[in-house]
């Protein structure tokens, strides 16, 4: 069973940084696409960034492009979301997600419906 566990959320001041972690288990992640999404109250789940587990071009959503990166650690089965220059509008629950679709691994996917497995999320609050 695929399991994804996010951590690293919390309260951060505007302009600050956070690094979220997603620890993955239970799957053949070499075949998967990993991604981060976020969802603010009353809003749709939004793509932040994603990339094939084995590497390749990173896809970025519009909202955090230029302010985020997603390093990974294959040995730890971990993918991270490094967020910089945080803004109050970045406040959301952040989710790690996995797609096993070959098309996503090959071309990238940004729709939440393209992802099969999700973590429980970690809250990020950007406020003074």
What was the pLDDT predicted at 111? Answer: 93
Nearest-CA neighbor of 36 among 127, 128, 124?
Answer: 124
DSSP H stretches of helix in 24-101? none
Q: What is the pLDDT of residues 82-104, one digit of tens each?
A: 999 999 999 999 999 999 888 88
The tens place of each residue's pLDDT in the chain, 128 residues long, gives 899 999 999 999 999 999 999 999 998 888 899 999 999 999 999 999 999 988 888 999 999 989 999 999 988 899 999 999 999 999 999 999 999 888 888 888 999 999 999 999 999 999 99
* Residue 124, helix vs strand vs coil: strand
33 CB-near residues (< 8 Å, 6+ apart): 50, 51, 52, 53, 98, 99, 100, 101, 104, 105, 108, 109, 115
The C-alpha angle with vertex 29 and arms to 34 and 38, in degrees rounded to 5, equals: 20
What H or E segment, with its residue span, contains residue 14? none
Please give the span between the terminal C-alpha atoms of the chain, in angstroms, as a whole number.
40
Burial grade of 86 (CB within 10 A; 0-12, 13-18, 19 or more): buried
DSSP H stretches of helix in 18-116? 102-107
């Amino acid at each position: 069973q695929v399991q994804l566990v996010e951590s690293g959320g919390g309260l951060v001041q505007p302009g600050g940084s956070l690094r979220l972690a997603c620890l993955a288990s239970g799957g053949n992640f070499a075949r998967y696409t990993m991604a981060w999404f976020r969802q603010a109250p009353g809003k749709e789940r939004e793509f932040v960034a994603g990339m094939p587990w084995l590497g390749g071009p990173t896809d970025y959503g519009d909202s955090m492009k230029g302010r985020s990166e997603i390093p990974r650690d294959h040995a730890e089965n971990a993918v991270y979301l490094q967020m910089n220059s945080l803004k109050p509008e970045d406040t959301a629950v952040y989710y790690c997600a996995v797609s096993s679709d070959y098309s996503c691994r090959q071309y990238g996917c940004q729709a939440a419906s393209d992802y099969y497995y999700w973590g429980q999320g970690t809250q990020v609050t950007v406020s003074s």
